[in-house]
C-alpha cells in the first residue's frame, strides 16, 4: 500500500498535460518541441436527409400562382363616401340581428365571424349530415330573409353598370363580418350550387385573400400560401376559372388586423339541390338569432360587476370582529337625555345564523352570523 502511494506521489510530481492539451497535442518524453505529434480531432458529421428538388417545387408553385392570377379580376369601384354609407348599412344589419328580427337560418355565428344570408342560404361545415364536397344543400325557399333593398341599390347596381356581371345575375348575397383575428378556412364555393364568377366587395379595412393554404388547429396555423391577393377597402374582386374551381381560398387570422366586412354576391344555379321542409327543420340551425341579445349599457354592467366583486370579496375573506365598520347599520346610538358615557348599559343582541338567501342578498354580513351591539345611553 505504501509503495502504491509513493508511486502516486511521484506520478503527481510529473507534468500532467491538461485535457485541452490532450485534445490538441501529445507530448513525448523529451521536451523538444520538434517531436510534438498532432492528434487529429474527431468530428461527427451529421447526415442530411435527402431533399426534393427545390427547382421543380418552385416551378410548380409559380405555375399554380400564374393560373390562380389568371382567374382573378379586381377593380376599385366604390369611393370613400360610398364605403361609409354602405358600412353604416352593414351596422344596421348587425343591430337588427341583435334584436332577433331575422329568420332562423339568416344569421350564422362562428368564432370572430358573423355571417348573414340573404336571398338564399345553404348548409355547410358541421351542419352537414354527410360531410364532404358536393354534400352542401340549399335551404327551402323562404327560410332566409330577402336581399335588402340597399344591397341592390348601393352594391349590385354599380357592379352591373360597370359591366362586371350581367343584369339580374345576382340572386344571393352574404355578409361576412370579421372581427380582428377572424378567419374562414380553405374552401371552394360549391360549384353545384353557385355559378361563376364569385363577386366580393370589401369594407371597413384592407385585408388579403390567400390561395392554396392548409389549416391546422389548436393552435390555429396555416401553411405558406401559393398566392396572396391584397384586397383594399372598396375593391371588387371576381373569382373564376382556376381561382374559383382549381384551388382553395381562405382568409387567414393574421390578415384580419381590424374589423372587416365583405359582401359576397353569387348566382344560385337553377338545378341546385335543395332540402325539403321536413329535413330542414331537423337540421341544427346555423345560429338562433333570437338568442342573441344586445349587450347592456356600461352603467348597468359596471353596477352588476361591482356587486359580484363585493360578494366574492366578502365571501372569500375571513371575517373578524374588526371587519365591520363602525357605521349606523351595525351600531345604533341613542343619546336621549345625555348621561355619562361610563354609566351606559350595553345590551347585546345575538342573531342566529342567517339563511342562505339572506346571506347572498347582504354580502356584508358574516358568513356564520354576526353579533349586533346596541348602545343605549341613560
* pLDDT at residue number 139: 93
pLDDT band at 25 (very low <50, low <70, confident <90, very high): low
Region of poorest pLDDT, from 50-54, 156-160, 205-209, 230-234: 50-54
- Per residue in 138-150, pLDDT (tens digit) is 999 999 999 999 9
DSSP line for 37-68: EE-PPP-PPPPPPP---HHHHHHHHHHHHHHH
CA angle 330, 331, 336 (to 5 degrees): 150
Report how far residue 145's alpha carbon sits from residue 294's, in angstroms, rounded to the nearest whole number.
20
pLDDT attached to residue 366: 43
Q: What is the mean pLDDT of the chain?
A: 75
* Positive or negative: CA dihedral 100, 106, 109, 114: negative
Domain boundaries, the chain: 68-291, 327-378
Residues noted as catalytic: 122
The predicted pLDDT at position 277 comes to 82
Give 339 or 167, the one with higher predicted confidence.
Answer: 167
Residue 343: per-residue pLDDT: 45
CB 271 within 8 A of CB 239: no
Mean pLDDT computed over 125-130: 60
CATH code 3.30.70.260 for 68-291:
no
Share of the chain above pLDDT 90, in %: 50
Distances 36 to 17, 24, 242, 371 between C-alpha atoms, Å: 13, 10, 72, 95
Amino acid at each position: 500500500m505504501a509503495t502504491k502511494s509513493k508511486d502516486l506521489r511521484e506520478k503527481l510530481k510529473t507534468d500532467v498535460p491538461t485535457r485541452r492539451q490532450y485534445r490538441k497535442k501529445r507530448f513525448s518524453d523529451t521536451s523538444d518541441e520538434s517531436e510534438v505529434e498532432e492528434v487529429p480531432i474527431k468530428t461527427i458529421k451529421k447526415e442530411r436527409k435527402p431533399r426534393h428538388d427545390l427547382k421543380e417545387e418552385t416551378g410548380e408553385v409559380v405555375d399554380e400562382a400564374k393560373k390562380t392570377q389568371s382567374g382573378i379580376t379586381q377593380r376599385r369601384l366604390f369611393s370613400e363616401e360610398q364605403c361609409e354609407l354602405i358600412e353604416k348599412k352593414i351596422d344596421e344589419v348587425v343591430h337588427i340581428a341583435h334584436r332577433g328580427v331575422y329568420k332562423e337560418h339568416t344569421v350564422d355565428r362562428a368564432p370572430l365571424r358573423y355571417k348573414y344570408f340573404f336571398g338564399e342560404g345553404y348548409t355547410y361545415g358541421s351542419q352537414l349530415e354527410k360531410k364532404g364536397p358536393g354534400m352542401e344543400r340549399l335551404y327551402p325557399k323562404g327560410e332566409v330573409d330577402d336581399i335588402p333593398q340597399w344591397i341592390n341599390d348601393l352594391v349590385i347596381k354599380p357592379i352591373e353598370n360597370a359591366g362586371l356581371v350581367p343584369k339580374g345575375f345576382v340572386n344571393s348575397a352574404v355578409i361576412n363580418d370579421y372581427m380582428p383575428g377572424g378567419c374562414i378556412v380553405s374552401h371552394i364555393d360549391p360549384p353545384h350550387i353557385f355559378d361563376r364568377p364569385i363577386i366580393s366587395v370589401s369594407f371597413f379595412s384592407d385585408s388579403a385573400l390567400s390561395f392554396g393554404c392548409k389549416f391546422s388547429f389548436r393552435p390555429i396555423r396555416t401553411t405558406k400560401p401559393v398566392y396572396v391577393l391584397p384586397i383594399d377597402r372598396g375593391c371588387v374582386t371576381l373569382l373564376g376559372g382556376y381561382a374559383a374551381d382549381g384551388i382553395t381560398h381562405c382568409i387567414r387570422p393574421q390578415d384580419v388586423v381590424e374589423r372587416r366586412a365583405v359582401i359576397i354576391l353569387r348566382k344560385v344555379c337553377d338545378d341546385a339541390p335543395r332540402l325539403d321542409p321536413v329535413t330542414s327543420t331537423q337540421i341544427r340551425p346555423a345560429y338562433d338569432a333570437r338568442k342573441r341579445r344586445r349587450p347592456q349599457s356600461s352603467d348597468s354592467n359596471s353596477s352588476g360587476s361591482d356587486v359580484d366583486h363585493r360578494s366574492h370579496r366578502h365571501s372569500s375573506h375571513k371575517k373578524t370582529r374588526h371587519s365591520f365598520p363602525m357605521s349606523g347599520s351595525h351600531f345604533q346610538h341613542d343619546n336621549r337625555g345625555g348621561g355619562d358615557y361610563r354609566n351606559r348599559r350595553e345590551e347585546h343582541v345575538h342573531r342566529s345564523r342567517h339563511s342562505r338567501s339572506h346571506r347572498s342578498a347582504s354580502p356584508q354580513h358574516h358568513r356564520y352570523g354576526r353579533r349586533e351591539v346596541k348602545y343605549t345611553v341613560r
